[in-house]
Amino acid sequence: QVQLVESGGGLVQPGGSLRLSCAASGFRVSTFVMSWYRQAPGKERELVADISSADDNTNYADSVKGRFTISRDNAKNTVYLQMNSLKSEDTAVYYCRAEFAIFRLRYWGQGTQVTVAS
């Protein structure tokens, strides 16, 4: 059974912080490229951040660079997204994705809502 379960979303004031978690089962996150995407109402889904399986190299969207940090805990088989200095434009449903391209494997979580408002 392959599954990705996001948690940690909620309502936060501008300037606040949230930490999202993506708990994986059925595979090892250490062998997949792990990513966070988000989709705001009326907007296309966009890549927020990813982390490689080979060397833990990270990549961020310009809009979140310096504020968000993606990390992976292989022992817990969990990926995190630390979000600081949150803005109203960060409001979206955040999705976790795992990809192992060699075997054409791609998995998505169900998403968790993040709302930034005063």
As a whole number of angstroms, the distance between CA 41 and CA 61 comes to: 19
Residue 56's pLDDT is 87
Residue 48's pLDDT is 98
> What DSSP element (H or E) covers 79?
strand 78-83
Cβ atoms of 33 and 51 closer than 8 Å: yes
Cβ atoms of 106 and 97 closer than 8 Å: yes
As a whole number of angstroms, the distance between CA 84 and CA 18 comes to: 7
- Digit-coded pLDDT (tens) for 37-47: 999 999 999 99
36 backbone dihedrals φ, ψ, rounded to 5°: -115, 130
1 pLDDT above the threshold of 90: no
Q: Pick the more confident residue, 37 or 55.
A: 37
- Digit-coded pLDDT (tens) for 59-115: 999 999 999 999 999 999 999 999 999 999 999 999 999 999 888 899 999 999 999
